């Protein structure tokens, strides 16, 4: 498997890691769309939210818990932040490894697309 995010998990690909635990790794996005833009990924490879099964509920829960911790550490908890989970090319998914975007540091607009 040639997944860049799996390479980050294994320490083979460099990334500016801001948080990690036994289940997740969080690192700064190389193309930030907000003053704070951190990606939270599971250590376990799951290609897309479309591939999440019943046995992977903990994977999604772990992403949310880690994203909350990132938002707190980055000083976003009080002012607010956005979590984005893309599925498929039309949504902007460019790396086939499920990941949650933590965006903040400015007011977000709605609708987002």
One of 3.30.428.10, 3.30.470.10, 3.40.50.12160, 3.30.420.40 is the CATH number of 4-104, namely 3.30.428.10
99 classed as catalytic: yes
Tell me which residue of 35, 38, 36 sits closest to 16, measured CA to CA: 38
Tell me the domain boundaries of the chain: 4-104
pLDDT digits (tens, 9 = 90+) for 64-103: 999 999 999 999 999 999 999 999 889 988 899 999 999 9
pLDDT tens digits, residue range 28-50? 999 999 999 999 999 999 999 99
State the catalytic residue, choosing from 37, 97, 99, 101. 99
Instruction: Find, among 109, 112, 105, the residue nearest to 81 by Cα.
Output: 105
């Amino acid at each position: 498997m040639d997944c860049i995010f799996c390479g980050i998990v294994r320490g083979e690909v460099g990334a500016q890691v801001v948080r990690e635990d036994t289940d997740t790794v969080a690192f700064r996005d190389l193309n930030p769309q907000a003053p704070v833009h951190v990606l939270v990924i599971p250590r376990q490879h799951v290609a897309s939210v479309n591939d999440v099964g019943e046995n992977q509920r903990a994977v999604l829960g772990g992403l949310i818990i880690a994203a909350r911790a990132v938002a707190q550490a980055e000083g976003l908890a009080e002012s607010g932040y956005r979590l984005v989970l893309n599925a498929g090319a039309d949504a902007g998914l460019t790396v086939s490894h499920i990941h949650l975007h933590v965006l903040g540091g400015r007011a977000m607009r709605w609708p987002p697309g």
